[in-house]
Amino acid sequence: MERWPFPLSFSVRGAEGLWRVSAGAPRAGELIDLLAAVANDAVAVVSLETNSYLDEEWRPLRPSLIAAELSVPCMVHSLGAWTSGTNGLAEELLVMDRCLLPRLFDGTWSPYELALIDVPADVTAEQLDEFVLVLGTTGIDEPLLSRLGDSRVWFSGHDDCYVMLETRDPALPAAVLARLLTLLAGSALAELIEEPFSRIPEPGPWLPEQLIATAPHWIGALGNVTEDLVAIGLAALPGPWQLDVSFPRQADLTATLDVRHGTWRVTPAE
């Protein structure tokens, strides 16, 4: 309401070999390489809504036409009207090789609603219908991948800001948290020097793993920023971050990027 920037937020919970992550505020394209790295050979884009591609009557283009505009080869599977009105599902879905995801979400446009899940490379039309049925009947707080035996990652992005994902890969939650820290530091440096800052080193896995081992829910906000150092205050929360939760008066830890040496460290907040 006061037009404050969204804070870094991260929450993870694990059970029975699955990890569920909610996070803010990365854009879908800023995480897509992490998702492609852990997915099976093919990925199904099951929901895609955007204002970046509109027809002559200002209606959003179908996902297949967006893929064609970007020269991304894919298989189009029509679902028809039986999915109409189901949150997170479109009337057609796209199946493509996972290596093509970065080409589709290349940063030149923005989806405000996106959901995708990995599938076998030889997935059939009948199997896709079964995937869609599971996606459409699983509650938001229910584990999804446990009902889809071979899938390794499910992603849902909203307003190009809120992210929810589920994965079988134990390293993916830490990789997402490392990316969030890098994006926040990079945005601060870009604003400071008034131009894009292209080379921001990501923290090693030890840093996000240490944070996750300390607490499952975090909120982060920028501290002191210079051309040489970027400090990010981190506070543990009792539960996942929500829109009305502001940053506490006192941070618990400080993650600091040494820009000159390309290193990160975590220290108790002063």
Q: Tens of pLDDT along 143-160? A: 899 998 889 999 999 988
Q: Which residues contact residue 180 at a Cβ distance below 8 angstroms, ignoring those fewer than 6 apart?
A: 8, 10, 23, 26, 220
The Cα 89–Cα 69 span in angstroms is: 21
Instruction: State yes or no: cis peptide before 25, omega within 30 of 0.
Output: yes
> How confident is the model over 68-78, as pLDDT tens digits?
999 999 999 98
Q: Where are the beta strands (DSSP E) in the chain?
A: 8-15, 18-24, 42-50, 75-78, 92-97, 111-119, 153-158, 162-167, 217-225, 229-236, 253-258, 263-268
Place of tokens 């890098």: 182
Cβ contact 208:189 at 8 Å: no
Residue 91 has pLDDT above 90, yes or no: no
Read off the amino acid at residue 13.
R
Cβ-based burial of 93 (10 A; exposed 0-12, middle 13-18, buried ≥19):
buried
Of 161, 163, 230, 160, the closest CA to residue 190 belongs to 230
> How confident is the model over 201-253, as pLDDT tens digits?
999 999 999 999 999 999 999 999 999 999 999 999 999 998 888 899 999 99
Read off the amino acid at residue 96.
M
User: Residue 16: in which H helix or E strand, if any?
Assistant: none
Residue 81 has pLDDT above 70, yes or no: no
